[in-house]
Amino acid sequence: MNNTVSQQPKEQIPSRYVEFMKTGREIEQVISKDSNYPDLADMLKAATSSTYALPLINSEREFSEIGKTNTPAHLYDRIANVQCRTFSGIFPQISRAWLTIDNILYLWDYTEPDASIFEYKDQDQVITTAEIMKPKKGILDDSVEYVIAVATPLQIIFIAASNTAHANNHAPQHDANKAEGYQYFATRATISTDEVRCRKMFSTEDGRLFLISNDGSLHEIFLASSADSWFGRDHMVRRTYSTAPSLFQRLLNTVQHRPSRVNITNLSAYPLAFIQSAVVDNERNILYLLCERSMIEVVYLGDPAQPYKPVFMYQSITEDGTQLARQSGKTSAASDFEVSSIHVISTQESKRYHLVAVTKTGHRLYFSHHQDGIRSTMATTGPPNALVLGHLRFPPVEPIHPGEIAPVYSKSFYDRGLCISVRARDDLSDSLQIASVGTGKLISPKALQTNPSTNYTNINNNNTSLSDSYYETRASLQIPEKVSTLVELKPKNLTRLALNEVSEQLSDTPRQFAVLTTQHIRFYQKQRPVDILHYLIQQYNKQPNLYRHHIETFSEKYSQREACAMCLSIACHSVDTRVIETAVKLFERFGGQPSSTSSPRVMGNFLTLVAKGDSVVFSGKRDGLLLYFARIISPVWKLKFFTARYPQLHTSPDIADPKFELNDDSSISSEVADRQSMHTIYITLVKAIEAISFIAFAVDAIMYTGIKQFLSDNVDKDKVYVLDLCSILTTVDGREFVDEIVIGIIVRFRSGYGHVGHHFVSEELQTKCSHFFGPDSIAFYKGLEHLLSVDYEDSEAEKDRDLRQSLAYFKQAADSLTKLASICTQYKRHSFHMGIIELALERAHRLDPTEKAFLAYEDPELQTESNMALIFDRFHVYTYILDALADAAAAKSNPASPEYSRIENPSQFYQNLLNRALASSDRCFHYRLYQWLIENNLMSDLLSVNSPLLLRYLERYESDKKMKYEFLYQYYRTREDYIQASRYMTALAHIDNISLQSRSEYFANALITAQCIAIQAPEYDHNYVNQLRQRLAWVQLQKRVQDIIRIQGGLDSANAIEQLNRSLFSPEQLRTDFAQFPHVVQLLNEEAVHSP
């Protein structure tokens, strides 16, 4: 084999990262699958749908009332006992309810029963409505978080709401009431409405305010900033006209055929558009107007050149809805499609459906505001250009008894797959009709044979199948009062809105709603699958026989792995000991057992198929653990930490466990693999937690200085802006960049604090993140701290101590040492060349402890790709040793150089290094060292080496015979092995392409060397000595023959002389090969006569 290695094999993931990165990639797939929830348009592929299921237990468990507060007593009494005009509502943005009684506005905190009430009565007009909005930038002081617009028949008044936590001394103080948390004060702005009676107000997130008047027209209010007052020149603009001013136009349209869709740009100045309500899509900057006769107008608000841009009027909704119903085989009247409310579909829920309309009979119509938005499979973007009806969803079928009136839905709420409608029961009470996207498997009613006393059933409308992929769960709640307002309460700090309820944890904040009635504010909570399982576990602990079937059905509905993940969520979040114990038992029961690939796979279990080539189908316990871990870590999985702040799981399986004894080999291997995978997931969880702890430590450590200035120059420093938990746990690049950050922090502390906190960083990481970094990394950081401390030491003894301490720690970390080049550079700077040799030899040994590289070096049949990689890695490490020796040799040759001023005796320094290198037991290194010494003409340094490896190397791999034999002659002569030395001198005499004179001298030296041994010595070889004398005589004879030919000359003389120079001839060969020269033949005859 060639004794040099020139080609690097493919880079491989370090073995210590392989299992955890594999688990990390599985986590990434779970998070991706959860986040890539199907688009609503993909679930509603058909033109119509009507599949519903009743709740798993009952309606109260699907939509639970969690509390209520009363309307303040003195306000309720006043309304009940005095004839007055009153309006009410909820401002969830500031957790306030509002109520108007004639000209007075009341605000109170509905989360605090005893909260004080803010009262505004600084005007004498009847208040008709109120709206909360965010002020535009520059309009008010920065401490003002919201503005409350109060409408009267003559004007609109603006009240500022400032959070007391942010209030400052510059904000004007109101001398009236001050409710907890918010401070209210009237502004100086009022806008005259010119006798436009305001019926409704609404606003956009960027501070635009609109009002709908009693005549059905839309107006926009403009508030301007001013240097002299908070509001400058304020005014109101009419955006639409209703049908009221044009009775003739209305009569004309009743007798003329009207097109089903009219482009608003082709309408007259007075379009027929009596506006009933409106909604704003803040994500897409679109305004939807619901007009009389169920017409919907689309207005684009996102064009800077035309801030209010009417786009499209859809006028045939009732006709098109009726047509869709008939196509699906349902009989519906036009009155069934009289729209009562419209709702925006968020971009999170759908990129292709944008609006849903709820009719008075509970039908839902789904629209896209792009002409080809529904047919396209891609997300539609850009301004709206149409309004297209894409899907009709029928309400649940309910029997109507003779004489009963069909139910009417008066109010509705829709967001993220949840629709809540208010339906009148009688003059004093209402009901809530709840429909939410179904989760889990739609269970056949035959599989739900339960105790007759329970309400656990499942229903479907006619003409539907249990195989339908999309269904909704329906529930109904009775409200003993009339409902005025229904809103969702969204916590301000809630950044994660999950569409897939199955993925939510018990610790996550569930969706909550407030229902304002004539007497109370009732609070409800949408129950998720994990909440339902938590309830079932609580009830199971009380009545196990009654709820056992419910729990089994729950597992069937949501699958083993999902049920196991929820059990872990409950066990980790609950404070009830019995609940925790039951959850753990159910985790074991739901989880089942792993199996080999020879067993049938669980259909749809993508987790078992993540790793190709695996021979195990993991258990539900293992997959559930992976799901749980992935979901709790998902909020920070892709969080760019530094950008955001700065521009039986614990043990591996024991094969000796008695439970394995009765199982076959396949079961044992599956169980072991399953337990090992669960253990890896657990360790990955621990590492993820500690990784977050490290990020917190790193952010705190670099808070005032930034990290980029302390990173190495050969590092891409901009990577710090995109570093996230996913890359840290799943990529080698991310993990190595973490090392760079730690190194930067250590450099920062050493450069900023000198000896203060000598081991602060490593000790902090060892305490908080020992699993994430591991012993090798911690040892490396400790070694780095010692190495960086050398520059701060005063005495040579202290410097030497730090260098040796660093070496000890670096050797501990040698298994995963990636900064060897930088360490060696620093060691060389401190003239600690011995440390380079020690560390590099240790690193080479850790790379290849069984010396596979040496065996492959000597045996070509063992030169596999992996063994060649080991050879390359070893030879790469050896370069640091050879570089250190070369530097020491340079110091020996040039001791006066300032570069080597710390080396007292360069010659002895070099010799000590060489002796340490030669004392190594690393056979592969010996070969490389010999090669290097030969290449640098330092063979003399090997004369003192007593190693069979040296002789073996020269024998097998050194091709320069002359150099090799001369060295071996010297080698054996220095050891007084004269016969062996003589033999190598003889070998020199036999090589080709040397002069005859040199050959003669070699034989003479060989004879002299052989005769250095006394004749009577046992190792004296008489035959060998006699043979040498004979060969010497031949050489002398050949020299005489050469002289004769040179004197005689002739055509062939030059070739003959050269031939005699190249090789050694016996007398017989001379006679044969040079017979053409008569004088040579004569000489040979004479010598033959005189020879014995």
Closest CA to 536 of 557, 556, 552: 552
Higher pLDDT, 894 or 158: 158
**CA within 13 Å, CB half, 754:** 4
Whether 968 and 978 have beta carbons less than 8 Å apart is answered as no
Q: pLDDT, tens digit, for every residue of 556-590?
A: 999 999 999 999 999 999 999 999 999 999 999 88
Residue 267 has pLDDT above 70, yes or no: no
Residue 6 has pLDDT above 70, yes or no: no
**pLDDT for the residue 647:** 44
Query: What residues contact residue 848 under an 8 Å CB cut-off, 6+ apart?
Result: 870, 873, 874, 924
Task: Phi first, then psi: give them for residue 403, nearest 5 degrees.
Answer: 90, -15
Q: Report the sign of the C-alpha dihedral through residues 685, 687, 691, 693, in that order.
A: positive
Residue 305: other Cβ atoms inside 10 A: 5
Percent residues over pLDDT 70 in the chain = 81
Task: Phi first, then psi: give them for residue 623, nearest 5 degrees.
Answer: -65, -35
Q: d(Cα 911, Cα 895) in Å, to the nearest integer?
A: 14
Instruction: Provide mean pLDDT across the span 663-684.
Output: 73
Buried b / exposed e over 639-660, threshold 16 CB at 10 Å, is bebbeeeeeebeeebeeeeeee
Task: Phi first, then psi: give them for residue 511, nearest 5 degrees.
Answer: -75, 135
**CA within 13 Å, CB half, 215:** 17
Q: Exposed (0-12), middle (13-18) or buried (19+): which is 1035, by Cβ within 10 Å? A: buried
**pLDDT for the residue 255:** 40
> 683: helix, coil or strand?
helix
User: Which of 301-315, 474-488, 842-856, 956-970 has the weakest average pLDDT?
Assistant: 956-970
Q: d(Cα 832, Cα 338) in Å, to the nearest integer?
A: 89
Q: Report the sign of the C-alpha dihedral through residues 568, 569, 570, 575, in that order.
A: positive
Whether 963 and 939 have beta carbons less than 8 Å apart is answered as yes
Whether 882 and 932 have beta carbons less than 8 Å apart is answered as yes
Long-range contacts of 218-222 (CB under 8 A, 24+ apart): 218/275, 218/278, 218/289, 220/308, 221/149, 221/156, 221/191
Q: Treating both helix axes as pointing N-terminal to C-terminal, what angle do 820-829 and 796-812 enclose, rounded to 10 degrees?
A: 160
Strand partners, 423: 409, 431
Letter for the amino acid at 717? K
| Helix intervals (H) in 202-343 | 247-255, 317-327
Whether 91 and 480 have beta carbons less than 8 Å apart is answered as no
Residue 753 has pLDDT above 60, yes or no: no
Q: Give the pLDDT band of residue 360 (cuts 50, 70, 90).
A: very high
**pLDDT for the residue 730:** 81
- List the strands of the sheet with 218-222, edge to edge: 198-203, 209-213, 218-222, 235-238
Task: Report CA dihedral (842, 845, 846, 847) to the nearest 10 degrees.
Answer: 120
**pLDDT for the residue 596:** 73
Whether 895 and 909 have beta carbons less than 8 Å apart is answered as no
Query: What does the mean pLDDT of the chain come to?
Result: 81
**pLDDT for the residue 653:** 53
Query: What residues contact residue 256 under an 8 Å CB cut-off, 6+ apart?
Result: none
Q: Give the pLDDT band of residue 463 (cuts 50, 70, 90).
A: very low
**pLDDT for the residue 667:** 65
Count of residues making up the chain: 1092
Q: d(Cα 884, Cα 889) in Å, to the nearest integer?
A: 9
Task: Phi first, then psi: give them for residue 223, nearest 5 degrees.
Answer: -110, 130
Q: Give the Å distances, CA to CA, from 28 to 541, 789, 915, 1057.
A: 36, 41, 53, 81
Domain ranges of the chain: 19-37+592-753
- H or E segment to which residue 793 belongs: none
Q: d(Cα 617, Cα 596) in Å, to the nearest integer?
A: 6
Phi-psi region of 592 (alpha: psi -120 to 50; beta: other; left: phi over 0): left
Higher pLDDT, 61 or 244: 61
**pLDDT for the residue 401:** 66
Q: d(Cα 290, Cα 314) in Å, to the nearest integer?
A: 10
| Helix intervals (H) in 365-430 | none
Task: Phi first, then psi: give them for residue 410, nearest 5 degrees.
Answer: -90, -40
Whether 144 and 162 have beta carbons less than 8 Å apart is answered as yes
664: DSSP letter: -
Q: pLDDT, tens digit, for every residue of 974-994?
A: 888 888 888 888 888 888 777
Distance of CA 538 to the CA centre of its chain: 36
What secondary structure does DSSP assign to 401-466, as a single string?
-TTPPPP-EEEEEEETTEEEEEEE-SSS-EEEEEEEE--S----GGG----TTS-------TT--T
> 486: helix, coil or strand?
strand
Letter for the amino acid at 974? T
Q: d(Cα 331, Cα 325) in Å, to the nearest integer?
A: 7
Task: Phi first, then psi: give them for residue 819, nearest 5 degrees.
Answer: -110, 35
Q: d(Cα 443, Cα 422) in Å, to the nearest integer?
A: 28
Whether 162 and 183 have beta carbons less than 8 Å apart is answered as yes
Task: Phi first, then psi: give them for residue 958, nearest 5 degrees.
Answer: -95, 120
> 642: helix, coil or strand?
helix
Closest CA to 391 of 407, 378, 373: 373
Residue 119 has pLDDT above 70, yes or no: yes
Q: pLDDT, tens digit, for every residue of 204-236?
A: 999 999 999 999 999 999 887 654 444 457 888
Q: Give the Å distances, CA to CA, from 65 to 68, 368, 478, 518, 524.
A: 8, 35, 11, 17, 4
Higher pLDDT, 455 or 51: 51
Q: Exposed (0-12), middle (13-18) or buried (19+): which is 937, by Cβ within 10 Å? A: exposed
Pick from 562-566, 605-609, 635-639, 995-999 the range whose average pLDDT is largest. 562-566
**CA within 13 Å, CB half, 720:** 24
Place of tokens 């000598």: 758
Closest CA to 371 of 356, 394, 359, 354: 354
**pLDDT for the residue 230:** 46
**pLDDT for the residue 1086:** 64
Residue 106 has pLDDT above 60, yes or no: yes
Q: d(Cα 719, Cα 708) in Å, to the nearest integer?
A: 10
Q: pLDDT, tens digit, for every residue of 147-189?
A: 999 999 999 999 999 887 654 444 333 333 444 578 898 888 8
Q: Give the Å distances, CA to CA, from 325 to 292, 314, 1042.
A: 22, 18, 119
Task: Phi first, then psi: give them for residue 52, nearest 5 degrees.
Answer: -135, 155
Closest CA to 903 of 1007, 796, 979: 796
Q: Give the pLDDT band of residue 476 (cuts 50, 70, 90).
A: very high
Q: d(Cα 512, Cα 413) in Å, to the nearest integer?
A: 13
Task: Report CA dihedral (577, 583, 589, 592) to the nearest 10 degrees.
Answer: -130
Buried b / exposed e over 354-367, threshold 16 CB at 10 Å, is bbbbbbbbbbbbbb
Q: Give the Å distances, CA to CA, from 474 to 63, 421, 454.
A: 10, 11, 17
Residue 1068 has pLDDT above 70, yes or no: yes
**pLDDT for the residue 269:** 39
Residue 675 has pLDDT above 90, yes or no: no
Pick from 612-616, 660-664, 706-710, 774-778 the range whose average pLDDT is largest. 774-778
